Amino acid sequence: MAADTDNQDLLAEQWANETSGGGQSVADDIFGGLGKDGGSARVLNQDEIDSLLGFDEGSSGMSDGSGIAAIVNSALVSYERLPMLEVVFDRLVRMMSTSLRNFTSDNVEVTLDSMTSIRFGDYLNSIPLPAMLAVFKAEEWDNFGLLTIDSALIYSIVDVLLGGRRGTAAMRIEGRPYTTIERNLVERMVQVVLGDLSASFDPLSPVTFRFDRLETNPRFAAIARPANAAVLARLRIDMDDRGGRLELLLPNATLEPVREILLQMFMGEKFGRDSIWENHLANELWHTDIAIDTVLEESSSSLKDVLEWKVGSQILLNATPESTVSLRAGTVPLFKAQMGQRNGNIAVKLFEKIEKEK
């Protein structure tokens, strides 16, 4: 009994020491180190803050793994991989580099910065103004797309086409509407880009992109519902020391007619088809046995007469030995023939093929 009492006294003394001094460090580790006055006794370093917010170390954006970034990015559209669309945009970049050089008579370099999925409403809200928005229509697909040209590229194109000297930055006067000359020059550039975009889709599905209108207010360039998903390709156009950004947006509804083609991993891929098996099946069909019925005569009777039939009832047919009979496979008529005999067997002689009605 004395030993148990001594052990209890020792445990009580250790607990008192922990709660008075040493135990505070455990609470600090769990609750961030609040002191007796309620103030913060421990400050988080930058790495801990980044981990809490979900920022990826060494990058400017947020990672999708955890933290606040996971909550913010939960409303974003998951990008559906369209391998052939990436090939189309790569082809577009190469073609634009050549066509814009001919258009501007200057050294032009086009690069594809990124290709992502985005909600259409979110994209309209993120467009940096002032900018020009070119609405175009895909004739064969019966839907629309959007081409956004930022102010830096607008002034650069105007400066190049009107003979601006190299080495001098394009003059930008913000806060004023674009002039008719500027709109016409940008429209000419848009026509060149749309021509290259049509040529880029030609190997997959011939389509004509027709310029529809040019807008400066994003509200008037609405071609889809705000919640609809779209594919956004950001292009960078550099002309020596001048240039800007061009953004191409194609709603998923626009790409729906060729979605199966864009999902291909390589050119000419066939989904769910095997040409070897198709050829084998076609060859085997020629050796298939089918039952052929020879119809001597047909007659129509009312249901009342049929119900009165009994065993021994006779049904008179108008067929004669010279009457024409028809050969059928199931319910499909195939030939007209003449009845007769050959080598003691009943035979038919075909004389007319019945064509299938279209």
Report if residue 242 sits inside a domain.
yes
The DSSP bridge partners found for residue 232 are 116, 249
Across the 358 residues of the chain, what is the mean pLDDT of every consecutive 10-residue run?
A: 60 60 47 50 75 59 55 59 86 92 88 89 88 92 92 89 68 71 92 93 90 90 88 90 89 88 70 69 86 84 88 82 83 85 84 76
Structural domain total, the chain: 2
Do 205 and 333 lie in one domain? The reply is no
pLDDT of residue 96: 92
Single-letter code of the amino acid located at 5: T
- Check whether residue 195 and residue 241 sit in a common domain: yes
What's the predicted TM-score (pTM) here? Answer: 0.56
Domain contains 64: no
**Domain boundary residue among 194, 227, 262?**
262
Residue 184 and residue 140 share a domain: yes
Cα–Cα–Cα angle for 126, 118, 50, nearest 5°? 75
Do 244 and 345 lie in one domain? The reply is: no
Q: How far is CA 168 from CA 106, 124, 164, 187, in A?
A: 15, 32, 8, 24
Rounded CA-CA distance 254/76 in Å is 20
* Same-domain check for residues 94 and 196: yes
Report the CATH number that the domain containing residue 343 is assigned in CATH: 2.30.330.10
Strands 209-215 and 143-150: unpaired
Find the CATH number of the domain harbouring 240: 3.40.1550.10
The reply to whether 200 falls in a domain is yes
Asked whether residue 151 falls in the same domain as residue 114, the answer is yes
Residue 257 vs residues 94, 139, 201, 204, 208: alpha-carbon distances, Å: 25, 12, 13, 12, 14
Q: Which of 177, 175, 176 is nearest to 215 (CA)?
A: 177
Pair 218, 255 in one domain = yes
Query: Same domain, yes or no, for 294 and 214?
Result: no
DSSP assignment of 117-130, as one string? EEEHHHHHHHPPSS
Does residue 169 sit in the same domain as residue 297? no
Q: Is 166 part of any domain?
A: yes
pLDDT at 187: 93
Residue 291 has what pLDDT? 87
Neighbours of 152 (CB within 10 A): 18
Residue reference for tokens 């027709």: 210
Q: Which two tokens stand for residue 282?
A: 């076609």
Query: What's the pLDDT at 30?
Result: 43
Quote the domain boundaries for residue 127. Answer: 83-262
In a domain, 10, yes or no: no
**103 and 173 co-located in one domain:** yes
User: Would residue 236 count as lying in a domain?
Assistant: yes
My answer on whether 253 and 296 are in the same domain is no
Per the domain annotation, does 72 fall within a domain? Answer: no
Rounded-to-integer distance, Cα 34 and Cα 53, Å: 21
142 in a domain, yes or no?
yes
Q: Are 253 and 293 part of one and the same domain?
A: no
